[in-house]
Amino acid sequence: MSFEHPYTIVDNESSLQALLRELEFYDIAAVDTEADPMFHYAVSLCLVQITIGDSHWLVDPLANIDLSPIFKTRAMQHIILHGADYDLRLLWQRYQYSPKSVFDTMLAAKFVGEEKLGLADLVYKYFQKSLEKGNQKADWTKRPLPEDMCNYAMHDTVFLHELCALLGERLLEKKRFPWLTETCSELLEHAKVSAPPKKDPWRINGSSRLSAKSLNLFKHLWEWREKEAKEMDRPPYKVLSPDLMFLIVKKLSALSEFDANALPKLPRNFNGKRLESFYEMFKTAFQEPSEKWPNVYCRPAPPLNPPNAELLDILKNWRDKKAASLSLDSSMLANRIQLIALATPGNISWEERFENAHFMIWQKNIWIEILQQNMN
pLDDT score recorded for residue 134: 67
Q: pLDDT tens, 37-80?
A: 888 888 889 999 999 999 999 999 999 999 999 999 999 999 99
This prediction has a pTM of 0.87
Show Cβ contacts of residue 237 under 8 Å, excluding neighbours closer than 6 positions: none
Are 344 and 308 a contacting pair, CB within 8 Å? yes
The C-alpha atoms of residue 294 and residue 210 are separated, in whole angstroms, by 10
pLDDT at 254 over 50: yes
Q: Quick one: average pLDDT of 201-216? A: 94
The span from the CA of 265 to the CA of 261, in Å, is 10
Sheet harboring 55-59: ordered strands across? 7-10, 55-59, 45-52, 29-35, 78-81, 101-104
For 96-111, give one letter per residue: b (16+ CB within 10 A) or e: ebebeebbbbbbbbbb
Q: How many CB atoms lie within 10 A of CB 143?
A: 10
Torsion of CA 242, 212, 275, 239, to 10 degrees: 20
Whether the predicted pLDDT of 132 surpasses 90: no
Confidence of residue 1 (pLDDT cuts 50, 70, 90): very low
Rounded CA separation 366/376 (Å): 16
Return mean pLDDT, the chain. Answer: 93
Give the DSSP letter of residue 220: H
CA distance 111 to 177: 9
The conformation of residue 159, written as its DSSP 8-state character, comes to T
> What percent of the chain clears pLDDT 70, i.e. is strictly above it?
95
Q: Are the beta carbons of 257 and 284 closer than 8 angstroms?
A: no
Please say if the pLDDT value at position 170 is more than 90. Answer: yes
Q: Which residues contact 74 (CB under 8 A, 6 or more apart)?
A: 23, 24, 25, 26, 27
Could you say which DSSP state residue 246 is in? H
Q: How far apart are the first and last CA of the chain?
A: 56
